[in-house]
Amino acid sequence: MKAILVIGDGMGDRPIKALDCKTPLQVAEKPVLDRLASTGICGIMDPISPGIPPGSDTSHLSLFGYDPHKVYKGRGVFEALGAGLRVEKNDVSIRCNFATVDDNLIVLDRRAGRINTGGKEFETVINDYRLKSYPDVKIIFKHTTEHRGVMILRPIDPHPRFSWKVSDSDPHRTDLPIKSVEPLDNTPEALKTSKLMNELTDEFHSILDSHPHNIKRRSMNLLPANALLFRGASVLPKLESITKLYGIRALVIAAGAQYKGVGIAVGMDSIEVEGATGTTETDTILKAKAVLDNLQNYDYIFVHVKGTDNASHDGDLRKKISMIEKIDALLGHILKNAQTNKLIIAVTADHTTPVEIRDHTGDPVPLLISGPGVRVDKVERFSEIDCAQGSLGRIRGLDLTPILMNLIGKTKKFGV
Ligand code: ZN
Ligand code: ZN
């Protein structure tokens, strides 16, 4: 028996006036999702707990069975792992944005015009940069996509080490100066890390501002990527891997570095799927094919589709509905080509992102589980409203993976 978990990021929604107070899931054409709901068991789920708007990272930890209140140590590490970097236990990982600033470090564009050139050239000058005042740190930098990158501070001399308890330098809006990184506790490690990062802000600004690629961008009337903004400092959470906990082989199929990273952090393997972009342009059939190609080698496959959340943040109702229909097509392709008598399929969201709010909210998400051994209930359609009638009732995100592992016979008896 195998389990596939498909997550439509931010797929949950609220009643929308333009849809006669229906949700996008209620109006989308999704025959496969509805068939799975009618042949399965349904419910609603609080990814973290009722009313708490989850981040994607904390929510995914929870959906894999790890209590984020206990294990979460910031976001940057997931970005680093997802970008293919090796992360060591004393490393501090930090998410970075290339930005455009003026001479007074006032942020003019937080994404440097969403640069799509020069990323690798900038990476070359930042990666392995040596700070004279901090010879005990190795700086590892990797450009990921567009304006995004990730930096690791790796201590060479372990005393004092670095700390993830530091604030962001990213002011999170334009027309404000790059913020000074501040220690968030009283440890010498946090103080040292904040000072070092502030020095890097200045150093990187002067290196990038005069970089030949930025001179070229200016000459083409494009915004230069002349600063790095830091956010989400973090360290590797201490986790027992999901493969050990359940004696399984697990795989993550996701385009976004962060989701790949959470999967890797809990012990999943990760593969690249060409054509899967992590945007609303993604080809979900290629993801379905990747699932089929790997089904023989894995017990638990997690498939992440990001586009539903992107459309929600953009307030783009039509795109959200069409992304739901793309997820339906993904599932249709799997069902048509897999041996379904040995397959548990679960579909849910990591949080609700209402298109009218354009941000994550604390509403529960719909959940369906279909496959052999499942106690079929009377729900016939997959939506926030229909699933609330299902016999799974209302569960926590933390319960999802144990429920799936039980259905594929991978849980151990508690007691005798
Ligand atoms: Zn999410
Ligand atoms: Zn989101």
Three-state SS at 242: helix
Cα of 301 vs centre of ligand 1, distance in Å, is 18
pLDDT tier for residue 161 given thresholds of 50, 70 and 90: confident
Cα of 407 vs centre of ligand 1, distance in Å, is 25
How far, rounded to the nearest angstrom, does the alpha carbon of residue 67 sit from its chain's CA centroid?
A: 16
Ligand whose nearest atom lies closest to the CA of 54: 1
φ/ψ of 146, rounded to 5, equals: 40, -120
In 72-211, where does DSSP find H-type helix? 76-82, 119-126, 188-209
Cα of 7 vs centre of ligand 2, distance in Å, is 13
Question: Given this model, what pLDDT does residue 283 score?
Answer: 85
Cα of 344 vs centre of ligand 1, distance in Å, is 23
Cα of 319 vs centre of ligand 2, distance in Å, is 15
Mean pLDDT calculated for residue range 252-260: 92
pTM of this prediction?
0.92
CB 18 within 8 A of CB 8: no
Ligand whose nearest atom lies closest to the CA of 353: 2
Of 273, 252, 254, 253, the C-alpha closest to 263 is 252
Mean pLDDT calculated for residue range 24-29: 98
Of 253, 277, 229, 301, the C-alpha closest to 76 is 229
Cα of 198 vs centre of ligand 1, distance in Å, is 30
pLDDT in tens, 82-104: 999 999 999 999 999 999 999 99
Question: Given this model, what pLDDT does residue 376 score?
Answer: 98
Range of lowest pLDDT (145-154, 245-254, 348-357): 145-154
In 231-375, where does DSSP find H-type helix? 242-246, 257-265, 284-294, 307-313, 317-337
**What are the residues whose beta carbon lies below 5 Å from ligand 1 (ion)?**
9, 56, 350
Cα of 69 vs centre of ligand 2, distance in Å, is 20
Q: Calculate the dihedral angle through the C-alpha atoms of 120, 233, 86, 309, rounding to the nearest 10 degrees.
A: -70
Ligand whose nearest atom lies closest to the CA of 61: 1
The answer, yes or no, to whether residue 145 has pLDDT greater than 90, is no
Cα of 21 vs centre of ligand 2, distance in Å, is 22
What is the SS3 string spanning 83-116?
A: CCCCCCCCCEEEEEEEEEECCCCEEEECCCCCCC
